[in-house]
Structure 1
């Protein structure tokens, strides 16, 4: 049978350019492709980089859904269903908030891991007894996770194709995160499976895109032991409690870690308590930053604004903290109560949800009533801090002390954030793949420079 898999188009946030949606391929759909390709013909259409073809007569369509693309996903579903084609919806939003999906939007809801649902969906479809809902068994382990079909990627359309998942989920349950849903599990893949995947990619630069790369520190140590001889360069997302694992930080650096994404979320302790972000301790943030920087690792810090203890003063104080501690890159968000999370249930019960337009739920719009500032103050503060962080003045003020980090730092701050529109024109002219490759060359040059210095010390 012919199976078409679709990534609906996402709406860019105010600071985003087309580079954002060309950053990396949709690994979820590529994973489904691996599961089905032995017995079925597969096509993948990412609406962010190509138009969807509605007239190529697939037997069945699968759509991956995050909360902000649900309205578009329903439109796409309607078009195929008008043609008599069955549509399956899966992805993180379906898994987390299946009960909120409007009746009649899709033929099938796929809840949980694709490995535990899609084989049954296809068998029932072939037998003419397709169910309206498939739920993955909780018995699946990391050994059941399959590698994405990397060979199906149109590499010219993406900056980075060397992206790897080592796990699913996160061990923490912060109220505002999808992982606060009871349906979300945390499991690691076998280390050897990850190593095989890395070897197959044939790249010296790897982006680990797990929710939490250190969710199981014992497992992470086992992976790092295998990574060290490969002399890779890699980055990942970790929780703030990495501070309590100094030996792990050492091993990460020795194995090629270049940067870490960390959800600091807020410098206001009360705000963190409001959403049960227990692994973050504000009075240890400075020590955390110093521990990472002292090992020559850069930081991408994520902040959430609009938490219940936040006042309008939070924007200036956060900016001051970012500049003081020379945080290399910053990702900011407006607090967004995703359906299916503990935060959403609480705000809904308090009557604070102000719009049901889920296309606005992309962390760039105010969709709830804040407690200690107005909606306009929250939105304008969110725009303000992005402008200020990436102003020429503050790019200079945040310049890394380590000379080997300066080129990659400037490449991101200038060519991705400050002049992203210009860079996107270059990407369209030259190709996203080549621009991404040049970025890797810059990183390699800096690594070689650093190694040369260490030999001379």
Structure 2
């Protein structure tokens, strides 16, 4: 059987460049390819790299769907269905909204696909594809195969050094898909030996761990960072703000090669944080956590959300002042976005505050709801202003790390990725993305 797996083209926010689209290969599709029975042919097409080839006639099409790619995914699905090809979709958006997807495709995989994929393939082979497949239990991560990177042209991607060590998150913030009813929100880690094997296969000393929360199981993380110390890696990860409660772990993370941490601060307004039940965040602890991380020579990428119910237009200036004062190295800003299926969406829908139903706009760069304490335009303008001011030459200099070994990676991100990213990524898209990534690793960390 011939199976085609498709990643629809991602929409870009005003501040994004092609680096965003071509950051890393579609790991979900690589995982499904590895799970496909031997003897079946698998083709992976990423529309961020090249247009979809409609000249073929596969026996089954599988599409990975996020909310901002959903409309494009449905168009692709309808195209194949008109030609008699069965189409199955999966991913967080369609898992939370399966009936919406079934208006355009034959079948929906609800939840994690690993335990369902082989059954889906067999049913398609028999011409008995079900309308819905539901993951009854969280996936056993011990049974996930290691991906074969040779299935995709890695030269087209900035990084092919991305690794997942876990699934799930210990927390259920209202604006996150983890608050959806379909989610088995059980935090699980992969076997340490499997992760280390995958790292060794990548052939690089720089690894980006892209878990929702790298410290969801403190004991596992503690053991893992001890095990990777001999590998002499340089690595980055995303953690929750409660990392400040585990200073001994921070020490070991640094000793094992940690260079920077992505942290969801979300807001410097305590009331705003509480309004979405992000209980792990305590505004009074922010400065201390930042201080402890910086003390260990680790940089911070702060994730922030604007438009929460207790935000007014003064939040932009006060947040910028806080970021600069604390010399936060990088910042990722978002307009609050109530994803359909989440607790936040349900609340705002009941309040009559959803004002834009175009799913292409649900990419954290559009105002799709009615804010309480500022206008829609004030929220959008403030979001753009944050990026403009934070990444101004003046504030890049003001936030410059004092440690000399941090200055090159800091400038690479602030200048080449953010400030001049659109021009540079336009060049990189011509087949140089992976070369750019390798060059950045050498310049930033002295590793290949």
1:363 aligned partner = 364
Compared with structure 1, are the counterparts of its residues 39 and 136 closer, same or farther at alpha carbon in structure 2 (3 Å cutoff)?
farther
Secondary structure, counterpart of 1:109 in structure 2: strand
Aligned 8 A contact 2:9 2:48 in 1: yes
Q: How many Å separate the matches in 1 of 2:236 and 2:38?
A: 32
1:453 aligned partner = none
Secondary structure, counterpart of 2:73 in structure 1: helix
Aligned 8 A contact 1:236 1:259 in 2: yes
Secondary structure, counterpart of 1:114 in structure 2: coil
2:3 aligned partner = 3
Structure 2 residue 173 is the aligned partner of structure 1 residue 174: yes
Q: Return the TM-score normalized by structure 1.
A: 0.95
Q: CA deviation at 1:187?
A: 1.6
Q: How many Å separate the matches in 1 of 2:249 and 2:8?
A: 38
1:119 aligned partner = 118
2:49 aligned partner = 49
Aligned 8 A contact 1:309 1:372 in 2: yes
Matches within 5 A, 1:3-402: 3-36=3-36, 38-99=38-99, 101-138=100-137, 140-184=139-183, 185=185, 186-402=187-403
Q: CA deviation at 1:40?
A: 1.1
Q: How many Å separate the matches in 1 of 2:267 and 2:61?
A: 41
Secondary structure, counterpart of 1:382 in structure 2: helix
Q: CA deviation at 1:49?
A: 1.0
Q: CA deviation at 1:430?
A: 6.3
Q: How many Å separate the matches in 2 of 1:212 and 1:189?
A: 13
Q: CA deviation at 1:332?
A: 0.2
Residue segments in structure 2 that go unaligned for 5+ positions in a row: none
Q: Quick check: 374-383 or 38-47, which moved more?
A: 38-47
Secondary structure, counterpart of 2:89 in structure 1: strand
Q: How many Å separate the matches in 2 of 1:120 and 1:411?
A: 45
Aligned 8 A contact 2:95 2:109 in 1: yes
Residues 375-426 of structure 1 deviation map (CA, whole Å, 9 limit, x = unaligned): 0000000000000000000000000111110011001101011111221144
Q: CA deviation at 1:143?
A: 1.2
Residues 234-287 of structure 1 deviation map (CA, whole Å, 9 limit, x = unaligned): 100000000001111111101100000000000000000000000111111000
Q: How many Å separate the matches in 1 of 2:136 and 2:221?
A: 25
Aligned 8 A contact 2:229 2:255 in 1: yes
Q: CA deviation at 1:303?
A: 0.2
Residues 109-146 of structure 1 deviation map (CA, whole Å, 9 limit, x = unaligned): 00122211111111111222210000112153221223
Secondary structure, counterpart of 2:265 in structure 1: strand
Aligned 8 A contact 1:115 1:146 in 2: no
Residues 349-368 of structure 1 deviation map (CA, whole Å, 9 limit, x = unaligned): 11100011101000000000
Q: How many Å separate the matches in 2 of 1:269 and 1:354?
A: 26
Q: How many Å separate the matches in 1 of 2:39 and 2:366?
A: 43
Q: How many Å separate the matches in 1 of 2:429 and 2:15?
A: 19
Compared with structure 1, are the counterparts of its residues 295 and 183 closer, same or farther at alpha carbon in structure 2 (3 Å cutoff)?
same
Q: How many Å separate the matches in 1 of 2:325 and 2:188?
A: 37
Q: CA deviation at 1:429?
A: 5.0
Residues 319-375 of structure 1 deviation map (CA, whole Å, 9 limit, x = unaligned): 000100111100000000001110001000111000111010000000000000000
Q: How many Å separate the matches in 1 of 2:209 and 2:6?
A: 23
Secondary structure, counterpart of 1:115 in structure 2: coil
RMSD of Structure 2 on Structure 1 (CA): 1.4
Residue segments in structure 1 that go unaligned for 5+ positions in a row: 449-457
Aligned 8 A contact 2:156 2:431 in 1: no
Compared with structure 1, are the counterparts of its residues 21 and 139 closer, same or farther at alpha carbon in structure 2 (3 Å cutoff)?
closer
Q: How many Å separate the matches in 2 of 1:428 and 1:356?
A: 32
2:442 aligned partner = 441
Secondary structure, counterpart of 1:116 in structure 2: coil
Secondary structure, counterpart of 1:219 in structure 2: helix
